[in-house]
Amino acid sequence: MMVVGGIDLGGSKIETTAFTAHWQVLATRRVPTPATSYDNLLAVLAEEIAWLKGQSSEVSFPIGVGTPGLNARTHGFSFAANLEGGARNLKQDLSDRVGQVIWFENDANCFALSEALLGAGRGHGTVFGLILGTGVGGGYVVNGRLLDDLNGASGEVGHLGIPAALVRQLDLPLFRCGCGQTGCYETLLSGPGLARLHTHFGGTAASPREIAVRDAAGEPVATRALSAWIDLLASLVAALQATYDPRAVVIGGGLSNLPNLTERLEANLPEKMLPKTQAPALQIAEHGDSSGAWGAALAAQAAWQV
Ligand SMILES: [Zn+2]
């Protein structure tokens, strides 16, 4: 039986799933990510691949690994700097060790692929998967494929700058971003960003969920913060339109659970979009944590068929 393997390599856990060719889950398991050394990580990943191979009668089949980081596709390794593996090429080392090519893809692209093909974006030819969580990122899928982009950076829209007019209109604070620039969308549109907006407008420290509850209860500061956050999100979706013009935008990550998100976004979007254009279909992601393994397997299968 044809099997496709997907491995979600995160900072704390590794989730490995064997899928059938029709994307049913055959078997799945989780192990902790070793935090001790690069060689241990390599050994644990090789064990996961051996376990995957035990699920199939085929000697080799597509296996993909999804992991955070811009250079995941080429190097497979850009997090956990404490593992002293920064200069090593995990993709190459792992492929050599197990005797077949193992595909790597960054986790935002894995999310976009899994939602475009097997989730809320199904049926749309062009889908942008937008993650709103501790960071802001995404990936773009055209007819079921990721772009053949130079760095795998094409969905990193959290690092676009917030428009100056919006900063002035909403009295937004400018923060330095982890990428080195100042005033990136991510600094205010991520979960920590919404909390920053709330304190900037005079509120106390609160989680996004608490801010939403206070907004619903009619607290003016929470309402101002959440309303500014929706403005920022609509502005980013308008930027997606001017660049990718996707037919659907699928929103995932922790903040996608905020109440009435798509309705509020739909109401705000027309004033931000280019004149006489249609808004993309706005959807909330269907897959939660499992999108990493699905997307990695989808990326591997697509590359396998080339
Ligand atoms: Zn940035």
DSSP letters along 118-184, please? HSTTTT-SEEEEEEESSSEEEEEEETTEE---SSS-TT-GGGSBPPHHHHHHHT----B-TTS-BSB
Torsions phi, psi for 226 (to 5 deg): -70, -35
CA of residue 238 to ligand 1 center, whole Å: 18
Cβ 171 vs Cβ 164: under 8 Å: no
Neighbours of 182 (CB within 10 A): 12
pLDDT score recorded for residue 74: 76
Distance (angstroms) between ligand 1 centre and the Cα of 138 equals: 13
Tokens of 113: 């692929």
Sign of the Cα pseudo-torsion (48, 74, 84, 253, in order): negative
Residues with CB under 5 A from ligand 1 (ion): 159, 177, 179, 181, 184
In the CATH hierarchy, which top-level class contains the domain 3-109+289-305?
alpha beta
pLDDT band at 306 (very low <50, low <70, confident <90, very high): low
In this structure, the number of other CB atoms found within 10 A of the CB of residue 293 comes to 28
Query: Separation of 244 CA from ligand 1 center, angstroms?
Result: 19
> Where does residue 112 fall: left (phi above 0), alpha (psi -120 to 50 degrees), or beta otherwise?
alpha
Instruction: Give the Å distance between the CA of 173 and the centre of ligand 1.
Output: 15
DSSP 81: G
Span from the CA of 189 to the centroid of ligand 1 (angstroms): 11
Q: Could you give the CA distance from residue 122 to residue 105 in angstroms, rounded to a whole number? A: 20
Residue type at position 131: I
Q: How high is the pLDDT of residue 305?
A: 76
**Cα–ligand 1 centroid distance for 215 (angstroms):** 28
Read off the pLDDT band of 82 (50, 70, 90). very low
Please name which of 194, 191, 178, 184 lies closest in space to residue 70, comparing C-alpha atoms: 178
Burial (0-12, 13-18, 19+ Cβ within 10 Å), 22: exposed
> Do the beta carbons of residue 16 and residue 28 sit within 8 Å?
yes
Q: What is the mean pLDDT of residues 207-233?
A: 98
State in Å: Cα 304 to ligand 1 middle: 33
- Say how far apart CA 279 and CA 15 lie, in whole Å: 36
How far is ligand 1, taken at its centre, from the CA of residue 1, in Å? Answer: 45
Ligand 1 centroid from CA 101, angstroms? 32
The letter for the amino acid at 69 is G
Q: How far apart are CA 193 and CA 19, in angstroms?
A: 37
Q: Give yes or no for residue 272 having a pLDDT over 90.
A: yes
> What distance in angstroms lies between residue 302's CA and the mean position of ligand 1's atoms?
30
Q: What is the reported pLDDT for 81?
A: 43
- Stretch 136-150: mean pLDDT: 94
Q: How far is the CA of 74 from the centre of ligand 1 (A)?
A: 22
pLDDT surpasses 60 at 83: no
Q: What is the 194 CA–ligand 1 centroid distance (Å)?
A: 16
87 CA from centroid of ligand 1 (Å): 23
Counting Cβ atoms within 10 Å, is residue 92 exposed (0-12), middle (13-18) or buried (19+)?
Answer: middle
Global ipTM: 0.99
The fourth-level CATH superfamily of domain 124-284 is ATPase, nucleotide binding domain (3.30.420.40)
pLDDT score recorded for residue 288:
77
Q: Is the pLDDT of residue 16 over 60?
A: yes
CB 112 within 8 A of CB 140: yes
**Beta carbons within 8 Å of 47's beta carbon, 6+ residues apart:** none
In the chain, residues under CATH classification 3.30.420.40 are 3-109+289-305, 124-284
| % of the chain residues with pLDDT over 90 | 81
**Ligand 1 mean position to 160 CA, how many Å?**
7
Question: Within the chain, where are the H helices?
Answer: 38-53, 72-75, 90-98, 107-118, 164-170, 186-189, 191-200, 208-216, 220-243, 261-268, 291-305
Q: How far is the CA of 155 from the centre of ligand 1 (A)?
A: 13
Mean pLDDT score of the chain, rounded to an integer? 93
